[in-house]
Amino acid sequence: MKFDTPATDNPIDQLKIIGKPTDRVDGPLKTSGTAPYAYERHDVVPNQAYGYVVGSAIAKGQIASMDLKEAKAAPGVLAVVTAASAGMLGKGDFNTAKLLGGPEIQHYHQAVALVVAESFEQARSAAALVRVQYTRSKGNFDLAKSLDGAIKPPASFGAEADSRFGDFDAAFASAPVKLDARYTTPDHSHAMMEPHASIASWDGDKLTLWTSNQMIAWSVGDVAKTLGIPKEKVRLVSPYIGGGFGGKLFVRSDAILAALGAKAAGRPVKVALQRPLIINNTTHRPATIQRIRLGATTDGKLTAIGHESWSGDLKGGGPETAVGQTRLLYAAPNRMTAMRLAVLDLPEGNAMRAPGEAPGLMALEIAIDEMAEKLGIDPVAFRILNDTQVDPEKPERPFSQRRLNECLTMGAEKFGWKDRSPKPGLTRDGRWLVGTGVAAAFRNNINEKSAARVRLDRNGMVIVETDMTDIGTGSYTIIAQTAAEMLGVPLTQVEVRLGDSLFPVSAGSGGQWGANSSTAGVYAACMKLRTAIIDKLRFDPADAVFDKGKVRSRGKSIALAKAAASGEIVAEDLMEYGDLGQKFQQSTFGAHFVEAAVDAATGEIRIRRMLAVCAAGRILNPKAARSQVIGAMTMGAGAALMEELAVDKRFGFFVNHDLAGYEVPVHADIPSQEVIFLDEVDPTTSPMKAKGVGELGICGVAAAVANAVYHATGIRVRNYPVTLDKLIDKLPDVA
Amino acid sequence: MSVAAVSVASPSTVVAVPNKAAARPPTARVAFNVNGTAHDLELDTRTTLLDALREHLRLTGTKKGCDHGQCGACTVIVDGRRINSCLSLAVMHDGDMITTIEGLGLPGNLHPMQQAFVVHDGYQCGYCTPGQICSAVAVLDEIKAGIPSHVTADLTGAPTVTRPELRERMSGNICRCGAYSNIVDAIVDVAGGKA
Amino acid sequence: MKSFTFERVDSPAAATMAFTRTPGARFIAGGTNLLDLMKLEIETPGHLIDVSRLGLDKIEPTSDGGVRIGAMVRNTDLAADARIRRDYGLIARALVAGASGQLRNKATTAGNLLQRTRCPYFYDTNQPCNKRKPGSGCAAIAGFSRNHAIVGASDACIATHPSDMAVAMQVLDAAVETVDAAGETRSIGLADLYRAPGNTPQLETVLAPGELITAVTLPKPIGGTHIYHKVRDRASYAFALISVGVVVQRDGSGRVALGGVGYKPWRARSADAELPRGAKAATAVLLADAKATHENAYKLPLVERTLASVLAQAKG
C-alpha cells in the first residue's frame, strides 16, 4: 500500500480500541520477570558457553603483541577469539569503528578479544589473563581545541551542513537587540538497563543470534557484512529489549564476538557487554559546542537567527545535527545554520534519543530565554510572537499541523505561569531559591516503510508478525490495538510477534518513527486481510463491517473463526510513502514547564514540578505515550543536571564509565510529572494519522530546567550539565 | 584429592578446597530456599547469588544490569530484606529464604504490586522492573518496620508512606526509561494511601 | 575474579586463625565493596573467610554510658536502632544518606569503615594508580578530579574515603575494637585508623594483616543538635561531593567533620573551637592546608557555605 494522499475516514477512526489508554499486553510478562531478554534464552539452544570481552587499554595505536597462553590454559576455557584469529572481518554500514580491534586500535575499550569458557566465572577470570602489549599513538581528544581543524561534513539524513536564507549577516548586524552566546553540551551515554547481549548459535553455515537490537533488518545486513556471509544465512531474534535509546540501533561487539566465539568453540556462546565496558565500547551522544546569534526588533520580532554547532567523531563518522530544529522552529526572514565536524579519537558517536534536536534545543531554548529577557518580554509570549505556520525557508510549504502556540498557552495556564515574576532570584522557600522555566519542544516526524503479516487462524485469533521491536515503547500493545481495531476483535483475540528477522521488515525502533510507521504497516496488512476475508465469505466489500469478532454484510453476520474454518487466511503488505512529507513539513511540538529549587547555600538543584504539553498527531495509546513522554522528561532532567561523560583528554576515554560514575536520574530526582496531549490528528502522516512522542518528550526539557535555575538564582549557566560548581561563586552570601 | 566441598565441625562451616586434579576452580555446596523450593547446589565459589539464580536455577526474572551494585536490577528479597544479588556470593546464603520476582507472582496470579505496575504503566522496557517490584514490596515493609530514610523528618518518629519517602527509598533502583513517577503511583496504590 | 577457596567461621578467634593459616586471605562480611573490586581484579584474594556469622551483630550499652556496635551490624539495623536514632542521630542520618536501601541491608559497620575509594582511575585497571599499583602514578591529579580530595592528599594520591557513616562517627569520637591473630585486642580511635596517603597510598589503615574489627564503640551521648548534610548532584544513591556533619550545642559550641574532602573523615579539634565564631572561621582551620585542582576547587567555597547553612539550621 502506498500512502500518497492525505488519509480520509478509515477503520482506525472508529477509535474503539485505538486512542484508549490501554495496559500493555506484555505487562504480565514484564512484571513477573518472564519476558525473555537476549542473554536469558536458556530455552533456545542447549550447551551454551560464556564469552567475556577484553577491551583495549589504549585509545589509539596498535597492538604490538598478544600473549594468549595463560588465558587458553585457564580452567574451562574453550576458545579465545582475536582479530588475528578471526580471519577477515568486514565493517557494518552503520558502524564507524571495527567491532573487533587489532592490530589497529581506534578507541578505548574497543574489543580486542573474547574469551569463551564453560562458565561465566571462568571466562571472566581467563579474560584477565589475556596479555596485550600496545604501541600508543597520539590521539586527538579535545573538541574545544579542535574547532579550527573542523571540516564541513557531507549532508546527513538529507540535511546539508550549512543553510542560509535571506541575509543573516546584515540583519544581525543591524538588529537593535542582539544575542551572541556560546553553549556546550557534553557527551551522553544511553545507559540502558539491559547491557548489549547476544547468544549465537551456528547450524552449519547458518547463524542465529538472539540479541538486543532496535533495528532487525539493518542489523541482519551488518552482521552478514561484518562476518562476510550472505544475509540469508543470518537470523536475528529480539523480542524483548531492555532499553535502547539509540544505543542498540546497530550491531555491537557482543553480537559479532558471540558469533565468532561460537564458531571457534563449536557450540553456542552468549556474551553480555560488561557494564564498565559499555560506555567506551559502544556509541554515545557526542558533545557539542554551539554558537547562537539572535537579532530582534525592539518589539520582539526575530529578524535574524543563526545557529552553528561543532562536534567530533572518529574518522568516517558524522556530526551531531544540533542545528536542524533551528531551521524550522521560529520565524525570521534572515537565517543561517552551520555544522562543523572535528576528527576525535574518542569512542564513536551516534544517535541517542532525539539526536540533533536534544542537544540543539538544550542550547537554542536557553538562547530564546535570554533573548526574551533582553527584550523584556515573557518567554512564553516571545515564543508565541515568533511562531511560523510555514517552513521559514520555503514559505510555500506549510506545516501539516503546528500547534506550538496552543501547547505553550495551555501549559502556561496549567502551570500557573501568569503568577511568575519576570525578574529572577526573587522567590525564596526556606533555604531554597525557587524558579520556573519554559522551553519549546520540537522533533520532526519521519515515516519509514514498514511491512507486516497478519494471520487469521481457525480459532479466530489474529496473529501479527513483523520484525518491529518493542524497546519499552509499547509496540506490542499499539500493534495489537491496531489489528484489533482493523478486524473488529477484542485485544485478547490478537497475538503480536515481534523482533524476528523471519518476519516482514518493519520500520524498526528509532527516530520516534516506530509507532506511526509500524502500525501503518500493520494497517496495510490488515486491509489486505479484510479483503481476503470478504472474498472468502463472498461478502460485498462496500458494506462489510468488522465488529465484535464478526463480519457483517447485508444482514448476514459470520464469526471470523468461521471464515478461517477451512484454513488460516494470511495477508502481508507494506506501507510506503509518497511525497506528503515533502509537500508538508511534518513535525511534532510541545512545551515543557519546570519548577526547580536551588539550595541558596550549596547550589544543589532539585526539580519540583514538570509539565509537558504535546501536539503529536493521534495518540494511539495515551497510557503508553504518556510513559514515553515522562521517561523522556526524566532523561532530559538528567541531561540538565548530572549527565556528562568526563573526557580524559590525555588518555582519550570516558573516565566515569559505569553507572556509579555516570549518574542518571534516580527516583528521588523526579517529582510527579504531568503530560497533556492536544487532541490532534494528522491525516498527512499515514492512515493512523499519528506521529511520535518518544523523542519529542526529551526535546527542550534540559533548557526548561536550566531556565528555571536561572529564574531561581539569576545565574545563567550555558555549559551543561547545570551543576552546583557552576553556581557556587555567584550564589548570594550566606550568613 | 577429589573432595570438592566438605562439611566439617559445625554444620554451618563449609570449607571449599581446590580440586587440582581436574584443574577445576574451587567449589562449595550451598543449600537455600528459593520461592518455596529447596535447592542444594555445588557452585564455583565465585558464583554470585545473581548468577546462581539466572544461570544455575534459570530463574532469569532477576536481572543483571551492572553486576556492581550500581543499578538495583538484581534486587531480590532474602530473609525478608531486599539486597543486590550481584554483590553477594551464593555460598554465603546457606540456609537463606530467597524470594525472587517469580516468587511474588506469575501471569494469571500476579502479586498486587505486579498488578499495580501494570495498571499504572510503571515500566517500559521491563528490564529494571523485577528489581523495582521486589524493592517496592520490601520498601513498604521497611516503612512498616519503622526504618528511617534520608527524608524522614523526625528521626525518632515512625516513618509513613509518602511520595518523598517512596522516592528516596526506591532510589537504589534505576529506571533509565524513566517510569519513576508511575512506579511511585503504583506503590502508593498498593499501600492503599493517598500519599 | 580470581578463583578462591571459601570458609565460614563462627568466632573472631577462628577468623583470625584462619587468616594466619591461609596466605592471601581476606575477610568478607557484607561483600558489597569487596566483591565489586574482586570482579575487576582490583582485589584478588585466594581465600575468603566469611565473618558474617560471628555473632557480632549486636548493639549494646557500655559501662561508661556509651554503646558498642558489633562489627557486623548491618547499616540498616544501625540506622534503625532506637538508641542510635535518639542519642547518636548523626550516625543514623549519615547512614541513610549513603548508598541504597539494598546496599545498606548488606553492608556492615566494619565494612563501611574499610570500604575503598571510588576514584574512577583506581577502578580502571588500565590506568595508572598508586593505590592499586604502587609506583604506577596518579592519573587523577591532572585528570578527572572533580570528586577528589582537597586536604591530606599527596603527590601520589588524591583519593577520598567514601563513607558517610565514618564522618558521623568521627564527630562522635568513635573507636574501633580489634582482635589480631595472636588474640590481642586493642582499641583504635577512628581518627587514628586511617593512614595519610603519602608515598604509600596502598596502605589505608593502621590495621595489621589479619587484624579483625570486632566492634565500634561510641562514648556516652553528647546531646546537641545533629545535622548531616551530604552535598551531591543526584538527589540520592550518589557519593558525596562533600558532606558536613555537625553536633551543635545550645551555647553555640560544637563539633564538625567533613566527608568527601580527604582520605578520611576530616576533623580538627581546633576547628571545633572556632565553631561559635561561625562557618568562615571553622572552615579556615579545617581547610588551612587545602590544595585543590582546577576541577575540585569549588569544594573550598562549598564547604564553608554548607557549614554555614548547617549552623543556621542548627540555630533553628
- Encode pLDDT of C241-272 as tens digits: 999 999 999 999 999 999 999 999 999 999 99
pLDDT tens digit sequence for A304-337 = 999 999 999 999 999 999 999 999 999 999 999 9
* Pairwise CB contact (< 8 Å): A627 & B102: no
DSSP summary character for residue B55: I
Residue range A52-74: mean pLDDT, rounded = 98
* Pairwise CB contact (< 8 Å): B179 & A627: yes
Residue range A676-705: mean pLDDT, rounded = 98
Where does the pLDDT of residue B13 fall: very low under 50, low under 70, confident under 90, or very high at 90 and above? Answer: very low
Domain contains A105: no
Domain contains A145: no
Residue range B47-71: mean pLDDT, rounded = 98
Where does the pLDDT of residue B172 fall: very low under 50, low under 70, confident under 90, or very high at 90 and above? Answer: very high
* Pairwise CB contact (< 8 Å): C312 & A729: no
Kindly provide the ipTM of the predicted complex, given to two decimals: 0.98
CA angle A124, A126, A130 (to 5 degrees): 115
Domain contains A210: no
pTM score above 0.90 = yes
**Boundary of a domain, candidates A576, A611, A630:** A576
User: How many CB atoms sit inside 10 A of residue B112's CB?
Assistant: 14
Amino acid identity at A453: R
Which chain A residue has the Cα nearest residue B123?
Answer: A472
State chain A's mean pLDDT as an integer.
Answer: 97
B67, B68, B92: residue with CB nearest C31: B92
pLDDT at B194: 56
**Boundary of a domain, candidates A576, A606, A634:** A576
How far apart are alpha carbons C281 and A569 in whole angstroms?
84
pLDDT at B2: 36
- Residue A566: pLDDT above 90? yes
Residue range A670-678: mean pLDDT, rounded = 97
- Nearest alpha carbon to residue A218 among A524, A448, A480, A479: A448
How far apart are alpha carbons A71 and A85 in whole angstroms?
15
**A75 CB-near residues (< 8 Å, 6+ apart):** A117, A122, A126, B23, B24, B25, C3
Any idea which residue has 561465566 for its cell? A120
Specify the higher pLDDT residue, B13 or A103: A103
Residue range A347-365: mean pLDDT, rounded = 98
pLDDT tens digit sequence for C205-225 = 999 999 999 999 999 999 999
Residue range A576-594: mean pLDDT, rounded = 97
Is A695 a known active-site residue? Answer: yes
Claim to verify: residue A485 and residue A551 sit in the same structural domain: yes
| Contact of B11 with C8, CB cutoff 8 Å | no
| Contact of A51 with A116, CB cutoff 8 Å | yes
How far apart are alpha carbons C97 and C83 in whole angstroms?
18
Which chain C residue has the Cα nearest residue B132?
Answer: C102
Claim to verify: residue A540 and residue A514 sit in the same structural domain: yes
How far apart are alpha carbons C69 and C87 in whole angstroms?
14
Where does the pLDDT of residue A155 fall: very low under 50, low under 70, confident under 90, or very high at 90 and above? Answer: confident
pLDDT at B193: 67
Note whether B14 contacts A: Cβ–Cβ < 8 A.
no
Residue range A548-575: mean pLDDT, rounded = 96
pLDDT at A156: 74
| Contact of A562 with A442, CB cutoff 8 Å | no
| In chain A, % of residues over pLDDT 90 | 99
Specify the higher pLDDT residue, A734 or A504: A504
Claim to verify: residue A407 and residue A434 sit in the same structural domain: yes
- Residue A675: pLDDT above 50? yes
CA angle C121, C194, C225 (to 5 degrees): 105
Chain B environment of A634 (Cβ under 8 Å): 178, 180
Chain C environment of A669 (Cβ under 8 Å): 234-236
pLDDT tens digit sequence for C14-40 = 999 999 999 899 999 999 999 999 999
CATH number for A653? 3.30.365.10
3-state secondary structure of A295: strand
* Pairwise CB contact (< 8 Å): A729 & C229: no
Note whether C312 contacts A: Cβ–Cβ < 8 A.
yes
Tell me how far the alpha carbon of residue A118 is from its chain's centroid: 36
Which chain C residue has the Cα nearest residue B169?
Answer: C101
Tell me how far the alpha carbon of residue C163 is from its chain's centroid: 4
3-state secondary structure of A90: coil
| Contact of B16 with B41, CB cutoff 8 Å | no
- Residue B17: pLDDT above 70? no
Domain contains A285: no
pLDDT at C178: 98
**B13 CB-near residues (< 8 Å, 6+ apart):** B7, C7, C8, C9, C10
Where does the pLDDT of residue B109 fall: very low under 50, low under 70, confident under 90, or very high at 90 and above? Answer: very high
How far apart are alpha carbons A231 and A219 in whole angstroms?
10
How far apart are alpha carbons A503 and A572 in whole angstroms?
10
Q: Show the cell assigned to B19.
A: 580440586
Claim to verify: residue A548 and residue A656 sit in the same structural domain: no
pLDDT at B20: 41
Claim to verify: residue A701 and residue A600 sit in the same structural domain: yes
Residue range A354-374: mean pLDDT, rounded = 98
**Boundary of a domain, candidates A532, A553, A576:** A576
Gap between the terminal Cα atoms of chain C: 51
Residue range C126-152: mean pLDDT, rounded = 98
Residue range B62-70: mean pLDDT, rounded = 98
- Nearest alpha carbon to residue A592 among A692, A445, A709, A442: A442
Claim to verify: residue A606 and residue A677 sit in the same structural domain: yes
Claim to verify: residue A469 and residue A484 sit in the same structural domain: yes
User: How many CB atoms sit inside 10 A of residue A312's CB?
Assistant: 28
| Contact of A671 with A214, CB cutoff 8 Å | no
Claim to verify: residue A600 and residue A625 sit in the same structural domain: yes
Any idea which residue has 485485544 for its cell? A491
The 3-state secondary structure of A369-407, one letter per residue: HHHHHHHCCCHHHHHHHCCCCEECCEEEEEECCCCHHHH
Chain B environment of C35 (Cβ under 8 Å): 48, 87-89
Note whether A130 contacts C: Cβ–Cβ < 8 A.
no
| In chain C, % of residues over pLDDT 90 | 99
* Pairwise CB contact (< 8 Å): B25 & A42: no
Domain contains A453: yes
Amino acid identity at A281: N
| Contact of A583 with A685, CB cutoff 8 Å | no
pLDDT tens digit sequence for C51-88 = 999 999 999 999 999 999 999 999 999 999 999 999 99
Q: Which domain holds residue A500?
A: 11-35+448-576
Chain C environment of B156 (Cβ under 8 Å): 82, 85-86
CA angle A194, B73, B178 (to 5 degrees): 70
DSSP summary character for residue B80: T
Claim to verify: residue A661 and residue A590 sit in the same structural domain: yes
Domain contains A159: no
* Pairwise CB contact (< 8 Å): B65 & A659: yes
pLDDT at B22: 43
Note whether B103 contacts A: Cβ–Cβ < 8 A.
no
- Residue A476: pLDDT above 60? yes
Any idea which residue has 520500520 for its cell? A507
Report residue B123: phi and psi, to 5°: -170, 160
How many contacts (CB atoms, under 8 Å) link B and C?
Answer: 128
| Contact of A279 with C124, CB cutoff 8 Å | no
Contacts 24+ apart (CB under 8 A), A543-548: A545/A488, A546/A11, A546/A486, A546/A487, A546/A488, A546/A489, A547/A488, A548/A488, A548/A489
pLDDT tens digit sequence for A19-40 = 999 999 999 999 999 999 999 9
A58, A602, A656: residue with CB nearest C309: A602
- Residue A277 C-alpha, separation from nearest chain B C-alpha, in angstroms: 10
For chain B, counts of helices (H) and of strands (E): 6, 7
Any idea which residue has 545498606 for its cell? C104
Domain contains A20: yes
Claim to verify: residue A565 and residue A619 sit in the same structural domain: no
- Residue B4: pLDDT above 50? no
3-state secondary structure of A127: helix
* Pairwise CB contact (< 8 Å): B101 & A30: no
* Residue among A320, A448, A674, A695 flagged as catalytic: A695
Claim to verify: residue A544 and residue A633 sit in the same structural domain: no
Note whether C241 contacts A: Cβ–Cβ < 8 A.
yes
- Nearest alpha carbon to residue A522 among A5, A180, A137, A10: A10
Domain contains A222: no
Q: How far is CA C295 from CA A289, A726, A732, C145, C298, in A?
A: 20, 11, 22, 6, 7
pLDDT tens digit sequence for C179-200 = 998 999 999 999 999 999 999 9
- Give chain A's domain count: 2
Residue ranges of the alpha helices (H) in A61-161? 69-73, 83-86, 120-127
Q: Show the cell assigned to B32.
A: 537455600
Claim to verify: residue A404 and residue A456 sit in the same structural domain: no
Across B5-80, the runs of DSSP E, i.e. the strands, are 5-7, 14-16, 27-34, 37-44, 75-78
* Pairwise CB contact (< 8 Å): C40 & A657: no
pLDDT at A159: 77
Residue range A580-590: mean pLDDT, rounded = 97
Q: Show the cell assigned to A713.
A: 538564582
Amino acid identity at A432: W
Residues in chain C: 316
Q: Is the dihedral of CA A578, A580, A581, A587 positive or negative?
A: negative
Q: How far is CA A293 from CA A173, A342, A477, B27, C280, in A?
A: 10, 22, 44, 66, 42
How far apart are alpha carbons A2 and A50 in whole angstroms?
46
Q: Show the cell assigned to A11.
A: 477503520
3-state secondary structure of C205: strand
Report residue B166: phi and psi, to 5°: -65, -40
Q: How far is CA B25 from CA A76, B46, C28, C203, C241, in A?
A: 9, 9, 19, 30, 41
